[in-house]
Chain A
């Protein structure tokens, strides 16, 4: 089992470009999350999903969009990249609410 797979691992974007960060899980978990981690900071929740077809905003959703058409996939879309979106992005899954989350290896994004 691969667990949680994020692609790409690294990406450099120019201001105004768009991209999709991919996240796929093979754990059959209903709960999925997108976090960002800025240097020296903790993880901030961008968006989350409690099941296919259901998404909701987290703490820092501005500039991002998500979709959840299947249990396995939870892509994160950046429409107009800005330098403030330079960060490391982590996707995570969770089987039940009161359990631990499983994280992908992260995507390091730089916007120049």
Chain B
């Protein structure tokens, strides 16, 4: 059973508009959530994270929202830029375990 799910394999948005990427999880022990960005032929790079004690975390154009009761988080990118085109992975970890469980990723395409 997949514990972290990204149900949209792809998303296409126009430059300047908002991109919303979604992620659902099933394991109630998860208490730390991260988003990573990945370009082709590169390793993932960290984008933004949120602890379960918060419901929102903002960093520049990127905001992550966490709804614990729904076991759902989302990444908002405003405004979207062509350079944001990449694969975005949602990841979750439980306490001191450190190791993260990843979703399958969403490919974001931002059109100029």
Contacts and interface: CB of A to CB of B under 8 A. Distances in A.
A103 B43 contact: yes
Given A42-B104, A97-B98, A98-B32, 15 more contacts: A4-B43, A40-B9, A42-B4, A43-B102, A45-B101, A50-B98, A58-B99, A94-B98, A96-B98, A97-B97, A98-B98, A100-B49, A103-B45, A104-B43, A105-B42
Q: Is the interface of A mostly helix, strand, loop or mixed?
A: strand
A35 B46 CA distance: 15
A42 B43 contact: no
A101 interface: yes
Contacts of A42: 4, 6, 89, 102-105
B99 A48 contact: yes
A34 to B, nearest CB: 11
B34 interface: yes
9 contacts: A42-B6, A42-B89, A44-B102, A45-B101, A98-B51, A98-B96, A100-B34, A106-B41, A106-B42
A31 B46 CA distance: 16
Contacts of B4: 42
Interface string B45-83: 110010100000000000000000000000000000000
Interface string B1-24: 000101001000000000000000
B48 to A, nearest CB: 9
Interface of B: 4, 6, 9, 32, 34, 36, 41-46, 49, 51, 89, 93, 95-105
A41 interface: yes
A102 interface: yes
Contacts of A92: 43
B25 to A, nearest CB: 13
Interface in A28-79: 31, 33, 35, 40-45, 48, 50, 58-59
A40 B44 contact: no
Contacts of A45: 99-101
